[in-house]
Amino acid sequence: MFNSTRPPRRIITLAILALAVLVLAAAEAVNLDGAQAAGGQGVVLNTRVDLACPGPPGEPGTPPPCILPVGLDPRFVSPNPSGQAHLRVRDNDTARVQIQLDGLADDLVLTAWIAYFQPPGPVPHPIFAPAGAGLPPVAWVSAPLAPTTAGFTEGLGQEPNQFTNHPNGRASLTAQLDYNLLKAGQGPMRNGLVSTNQVGASPESGAFQPDCCPDGIPAPRPQGVGASFLRVFDPATGLQVLGPDGRPQLLRSPVPVAFLVVLVHIDGTTHGINAGNLIIPAPGVPATTGDHFTLGVFDLRSLQME
């Protein structure tokens, strides 16, 4: 009879596999610790914020439903809107924002935006003020909630800041941002000086664009489509300044983001980086003043970082 003190082959194999798992786990822990020490992976903020209605400038809002424009088509009225934004900010100044909405009307076209302050409150920096008498601001109050590398379709497809609708009055959006929205000097600013329109086309061309929103505030105006982020230009050549990655250098906001804003587009489409013509959320303002209204906001003012 053959006698041996060696353990069976199966036990040896299991032991080797267990040792390999331990080695891999240890290596992963070392890699993770090293990445965090290098400042690339550490989470510095992980929190959730509830959807609210815009309050008076400088004051907290109230739970939805919010004040709606007068004469709004009932199909745009959500029965019991609520929502939550999950923010995860890393120490490499990137951020992930996940928004879940509930209690919505069916088939809404919804988009999300970063806002640097709340009009008509005080303008926090001259770049958000009018460029001159009778002129629009250099930078608008808001920009799309999307990475600066995102491509926009101007309504010809799903926008990067557009919600995906789900059954039972729900919608969701996830945005992986390449900047820290809670710090000054990081968020992109939307060009307020020029918006794409076709007001120069004659009626005979078939491309004529009349003013929209007959009760518009302060006056009827063409519906804007497109637009872009403010960029840095070389004063000597007039060319765009490029960063180390070869991409145009963006002009960054001097103030951090104050709100995330959820918009409902009553014209049934989006307009790209330009949100369109806002219906001011005030009592008695008719729906004919614009093409979208505010469903609610996520107030980030208490989370802003140095």
Mean pLDDT of 200-211: 94
CA distance linking residue 147 with residue 201, whole number of Å: 33
- What pLDDT digit, counting tens, does each position of 245-269 carry? 999 999 999 999 999 999 999 999 9
Query: Among residues 283, 280, 118, which one has the least CA distance to residue 215?
Result: 280
Angle at 140 between CA 136 and CA 145, to 5 degrees: 160
Of 16-20, 110-114, 123-127, 129-133, the least confident: 16-20
Q: Which residues pair with 265 in a beta bridge?
A: 292
For 73-105, how does the pLDDT look when each residue is reduced to its tens digit (9 = 90+)? 999 999 999 999 999 999 999 999 999 999 999
